[in-house]
Amino acid sequence: MAPSATALALCVALFLTRRTDGEMLEGPTDVRFVAEIAHHLLRWEPGHNPRSDVRYEVEHRVYGTNFSWMATPNCRNISELSCDLTYYTLDPALRYYARVRAVARNHTSPWQRTNSFSPREASLRLSGQSLSLTGNTIHVQLQLLLRAGNLTVKYDDVQKHTRRYWVYVRRAQDNRTYKVLKTTPEFNITNLFWDTEYCISVEPDVASRRIHATRTDEHCVAIGGRDRSAELVLSIVSSSFITLLLLGLLGALLVCTYIKKPVRPPSVLKSFIKQSSLWMEQESLSSGSPDADPIQQLFLCQKEPQQDSTQRRPRSPWAQGHPQDQGWH
């Protein structure tokens, strides 16, 4: 029994010694995610006076679930101070934890854990942009697909709301730069100078919160000289159209004037109207009764002053005759 008890005590002592030595191994510090969209990198710093043979192990876990910590196959016994966790932390609807510990032979340090991380908190970036030229207008189309190993991630799947883009337009001749805010991934930059080279870069942004962003590399395009022949053709076509329009308006005006010109009644109708008026006048004069039609009376009232004026008109001396003629009878 004595040798067995001695052996058991020795094993327990060795186990406790190893555990104590493992806990004394200093672990990594400043464990954090340094992430861009579709590139989630876990970084850390070594402990104080690290051993030359120290290695690191990384595990990750989904926040708010009962799943246990999962080892990261490509980050076991590594000497680097970073680990790419993109493949394991892609879902923008979830949050994740990661932790790291130092390992040296049979010694291990305590785990050091990150704060929770969401892919929506990653720094913003785009793959780039493609440019095409029409006259003095540059058409820009942003490239929203990002590669994550063998997977493809769309920028607008991660940032689904309040997306916008700051477009930097630099004139190569004098390096003068101005920026324009756009809200769509495809747009035009118009009214640029002819015979000038411009360089375009784009910085993504989210209006709802401040997130660090990386601007894309510049792409340049040169605008040639102005094509006067096209302007001449356009001017001729415009002038012809305006001329035809004016002629059409003038023709319409002449037609309207002709249609609205007053038409005189025929001579037969005028003669009939005149005879009817005379007949009505004679009838009204012959009747003269108080029971006559009021309209006829009104007509007579209008005619009587003319007759009175005729009777009251003084006769000329020639019509009355000379006094000498009266004495001759």
CATH of the domain at 96: 2.60.40.10
Q: What is the per-residue pLDDT for 20?
A: 42
Tell me, yes or no, whether 111 and 134 share the same domain: no
pLDDT band for 233, please (50, 70, 90 cuts). Answer: confident
Is residue 287, in this structure, part of any structural domain at all? no
Is residue 256, in this structure, part of any structural domain at all? no
Mean pLDDT along residues 118-125: 96
Tell me, yes or no, whether 139 and 185 share the same domain: yes
Q: What is the per-residue pLDDT for 261?
A: 59
Neighbours of 224 (CB within 10 A): 11
Neighbours of 138 (CB within 10 A): 21
Of 18-32, 126-140, 196-210, 227-241, which gets the smallest average pLDDT? 18-32
Tell me, yes or no, whether 94 and 176 share the same domain: no
Question: Tens digits of per-residue pLDDT, 156-205?
Answer: 999 999 999 999 999 999 999 999 999 999 999 999 999 999 999 999 99
pLDDT reading at 297 higher than 70: no
Tell me, yes or no, whether 37 and 115 share the same domain: yes
Q: What is the 3-state secondary structure (H, E, C) of the chain?
A: CHHHHHHHHHHHHHHHHHHHHHHHCCCCEEEEEEEECCEEEEEEECCCCCCCCCEEEEEEEECCCCCCCEEEEEEEEECCCEEECHHHCCCCCCCEEEEEEEEECCEECCCEECCCECHHHCEECCCEEEEEEECCEEEEEEECEEEECCEEEEHHHHCCCCEEEEEEEEECCCCEEEEEEECCCEEEECCCCCCEEEEEEEEEEECCCCCCECCCCCEEEEECCCCHHHHHHHHHHHHHHHHHHHHHHHHHHHHHHHHCCCCCCCHHHHHHHHHHHHHHHHHHHHHCCCCCCHHHHHHHHHHHHHHHHHHHCCCCHHHHCCHHHHHHC
Tell me, yes or no, whether 103 and 132 share the same domain: no
Q: What is the per-residue pLDDT for 266?
A: 63
Mean pLDDT along residues 19-36: 79
Exposed, middle or buried: residue 177 (CB in 10 Å: 0-12, 13-18, 19+)? exposed
Q: What is the per-residue pLDDT for 232?
A: 76
The three-point CA angle 194-199-204 to 5° equals 130
Number of independent structural domains in the chain: 2
Tell me, yes or no, whether 172 and 193 share the same domain: yes
Q: What is the per-residue pLDDT for 254?
A: 82
Q: What is the per-residue pLDDT for 212?
A: 95
Q: What is the per-residue pLDDT for 163?
A: 96
Q: What is the per-residue pLDDT for 301?
A: 47
pLDDT reading at 307 higher than 50: no
Is residue 18, in this structure, part of any structural domain at all? yes
Tell me, yes or no, whether 199 and 216 share the same domain: yes
pLDDT reading at 117 higher than 50: yes
Mean pLDDT along residues 250-256: 84
Which has the higher per-residue pLDDT, 15 or 110?
110
Of 247-256, 268-277, 311-320, which gets the smallest average pLDDT? 311-320
Q: What is the per-residue pLDDT for 286?
A: 60
Q: What is the domain range of residue 34?
A: 11-121
Check if the beta carbon of residue 128 is closer than 8 Å to that of residue 218.
Answer: no
Tell me, yes or no, whether 160 and 206 share the same domain: yes
Question: Tens digits of per-residue pLDDT, 69-80?
Answer: 999 999 999 999
Is residue 298, in this structure, part of any structural domain at all? no
User: Measured between alpha carbons, how far is residue 181 from residues 34, 191, 203 in Å?
Assistant: 27, 16, 10
Is residue 302, in this structure, part of any structural domain at all? no
Is residue 219, in this structure, part of any structural domain at all? yes
Report the chain's mean pLDDT, rounded to a whole number.
81
Tell me, yes or no, whether 181 and 147 share the same domain: yes
Is residue 318, in this structure, part of any structural domain at all? no
pLDDT reading at 146 higher than 70: yes
Is residue 183, in this structure, part of any structural domain at all? yes
The model's pTM: 0.62
